[in-house]
Structure 1
Amino acid sequence: MFDVKSIDRNPDRPAADLSTLTPRPPAQSSLTVCPGQEPNSLYPFGELNSAARSVLAAVYDGPFDTIAYEYQPVILTKMPSFENGDAQVDRIQVQAGDTVLGADGNLVTLKEEVRVRPAGCRADDCVIPYNGTAPLEMDQMLVTFHLRPDLTWSDGTPLTADDSIFSFELHKEADIDSFLLERTQVYEAADEQTLQWFGVPGFIDPTYFTNFWMPAPRHAWSVFPADELPSIDIAANAPLGWGPYMVEEWSWRPHCAGEESALLPRGGWIPQNGQDQLPLHPGPGHGSVRIDRGPL
């Protein structure tokens, strides 16, 4: 690569007046993604093949990324931590009949002789059997997530904490990621940009900072039954996102060329030369997803 600088051979020539130049409007640009197989669906909470995940990476961004083995916020203002006060462990009182995490790591209903870790206990030598009557304190994790206030869906609707709650509800109905769902006591919106996750008493999660449900557009999807979303066009073929691009159309043809499927960019990375092709999974039969530059 060469750095080329313009050299003026006539230094006495007056400088050009650039103030009267009319800026050129941004050109339509596109990115053609060439997977080796057709995406099986673009519903983000389904069982996706690699082609679908590649396309959705342009529609959604985050909610957090990993860089050099460390999590970085994308749609959050920061990653919660004990250091910044967005993660904490509280002592709470539990009683017979409550769902807690037993000393063996399984969820149990608290009753007499159930072995649990009382508040502050992190080792096996402090495990006790519950006597069924005496007050008992256990540890509960509370994690707070702060959404960026400038987020919008690709149709212009503001993205809020309620959209993450809607995603949580969809996951519960479909029983997706049941391990975390079962160990979540409460997931709630404190305000339009703030969410709080409360773990089941006794569950101390080392990856607490990921206990955030990727938002789903309640305003567009809630009118449909949850079990139909994976098969309807608005969610499975052209889902709304908040990422750099949005889906305009999708069809499938045997060659990586033309306008099989288009995504319109909303910001973020844009192809530099107007139209690029990005081969993701070369194979004998290629289709394409075309990503077009358009208005935000």
Structure 2
Amino acid sequence: MRRTRRTALSLAAAIIAGTASASSPEVSLVPVARPSVDLASLSGVYLSAQTVVPAALSATMRPELRPVSAQILAAAARSVDVPFLGPDTSLKPYMRPGSLEQQILFKKRKLRKGSVCGDIGIQGKPVGSVPGKIKACGIKDAVQITSISGVALSRPATMDCGTAIALNKWVDKAVKPTFKRRGPVVELQVAAHYACRTRNNQKGARVSEHGKGRAIDISGFTMADGEVVTVLNGWRKNPSKKQLTKIWRGACGPFGTVLGPNSDRYHQNHFHLDTARYRSGPYCR
């Protein structure tokens, strides 16, 4: 039995060996030698770092040199006596004229001279102590503001520095960006500023923040082309309503109290902004 099995195995091995030697590469288990490759036909084919490329073929694979820029040729042709080159013939821009530098410095000095509250963006003049008719009214160190963050006020507004700083922040961060495409905004329409009176001019009411120099009322915004966006008319229709709502919301933070047309009938045509602070945070309606 064992001898018969060994004979069968030997016979099968001989058949397999004979078949492998006579079979084609497609059906044989024996690997076939790699055919020779023409390197000239490998254009666009990746070559590993170990691949040896003939010198003649290597020369044809090098990139062409970048042509000399026409601007560089034109600049080289210019006379060396020319102090500087213009943008049309050089990669370098014109040098800033000395007169322009002096003009910019003079403007900065002028703005710094006319600034108050330690901020160049707040233009006006100090007016000192402002007494009030009522004991609760008055401003200790008042300033009279004419422009805020480059935006003029329709009339000089008297207030304290805390209110001026809040107004400057509001104009810079909310008003100007909101009207950037429509404007730019060049003027704020001032409806009211310092006035020694009670709240909403109601008899027996508490003294208004206007009487303490901590409030200002804005009724509209003038654009560079002369267009005026008023709170009264703009609050009723888009796109003005959307922009005015964004501006009203932007005032809530720099100011402690922000009142608009949705608050009551006394503020239908303006935004009331004051710097009174509350423990619960800003009051915005």
* TM-score normalised over the length of structure 2: 0.21
* TM-score normalised over the length of structure 1: 0.20
Name which one, 1 or 2, has greater alpha-carbon Rg: 2
The structure with higher relative contact order (CA 8 Å, sep 6+) is: 1
